[in-house]
Amino acid sequence: MANKREFKHWDSKLLFNVLQKVVQIRDTIEKQCYEKQINPENLPMSMLPSNVLFDMAVCYEAMYDKLMEEELVVCGYPRSSPTYH
């Protein structure tokens, strides 16, 4: 049985705002990988390894979509992109 508990409005707004940042991180890493023809673990280090940031971004995006699918976030925000890379 699915948990139909809804997040408070501010919870879902925060999740959506973080999702936007996560998608930007993922897109930036993917662009750098494509341009340099390398994997995320071969990108230069930042405060965290780029491959760790990439994994976090992809996992957060998948988690957000699952929350939407399970109707745990009901706020009218759109889903993230339909494909994962």
* pLDDT score recorded for residue 55: 84
Residue 46 located in a structural domain: yes
**Structural domain span for residue 32:** 9-69
Residue 4 located in a structural domain: no
Residue 51 located in a structural domain: yes
- pLDDT at residue 85 above 50? no
Give the burial class of 49: count Cβ atoms within 10 A of its Cβ; 0-12 exposed, 13-18 middle, 19 or more buried: middle
What pTM was computed for the model?
A: 0.59
Rounded Cα distance between 44 and 80, Å, is: 27
The better pLDDT of the pair 68, 3 is held by 68
Rounded Cα distance between 6 and 15, Å, is: 13
The SS3 of residue 39 is: coil
Residue 80 located in a structural domain: no
Residue 76 located in a structural domain: no
Residue 19 located in a structural domain: yes
- In this prediction, residue 84 has a pLDDT band, given cuts at 50, 70 and 90, of very low
Non-local CB neighbours of 11 within 8 Å, separated by 6+ positions: 73
Number of domains in the chain: 1
Residue 83 located in a structural domain: no
